[in-house]
Amino acid sequence: MLKAKTTTGRFKAPATTLQAYIGDIENLPDWATTFCLKLKKQGEDYKVTTPGGEIFFRIDSCGETGIVDMWGGPSKDMMMRWPARVTDDGTGGSVFAFTAIQSPGQSDGEFDGQCAALSEEFENIRHNIDGS
């Protein structure tokens, strides 16, 4: 059975700030440094160069609900979703929860490495929006 793992992080920035930052695909190379080696726009589509090759990529973001679903795949009709959510933490800060889902054909080791990289990427977000 394929794995799924949710990683969460708490941030000083308000949820609206975090949502706007993560929901903007142009910011992806600044924080998802392990996953996104390069981002390019082709017409209306975005492509990300990952360690495993180039994929189509999009982010569906809704500030009202906090949803930041990320989609990626080898073609636009074969994109897989990685659900994510930004919520207010009740103290002026925010929480970001990202669920990684193992892709068919992805080894357990590759998936585990991808999940481990999220910790570093959360630190990139923290540095970019919290200044810490």
pTM > 0.85: yes or no = yes
Query: What are the DSSP calls for 38-95, one per residue?
Result: EEEEETTEEEEEETTEEEEEEEEEETTTTEEEEEEESSGGG-EEE-EEEEE-SSS-EE
Q: What is the pLDDT of residue 113?
A: 85
CB within 8 Å of 40: residues ≥ 6 apart: 46, 47, 49
CATH of 4-130, one of 3.30.530.20, 1.10.287.90, 3.10.180.10, 3.30.830.10: 3.30.530.20
Higher pLDDT, 89 or 2: 89
Please provide the average confidence, as pLDDT, over all residues in the chain.
93
**What digits encode the pLDDT tens for the residues 5-15?**
999 999 999 99
Gap between the Cα atoms of 24 and 57, Å rounded: 12
Q: Report, as an integer, the average pLDDT of 23-37.
A: 96
User: In this predicted model, what pLDDT tens digit does every residue of 82-128 receive, in sequence order?
Assistant: 999 999 999 999 999 999 998 888 889 888 888 888 888 999 999 99
Sign of the dihedral defined by the CA atoms of residues 118, 28, 22, 27, in that order: positive
Q: How do the domains of the chain map onto residue ranges?
A: 4-130
Q: What is the pLDDT of residue 68?
A: 97
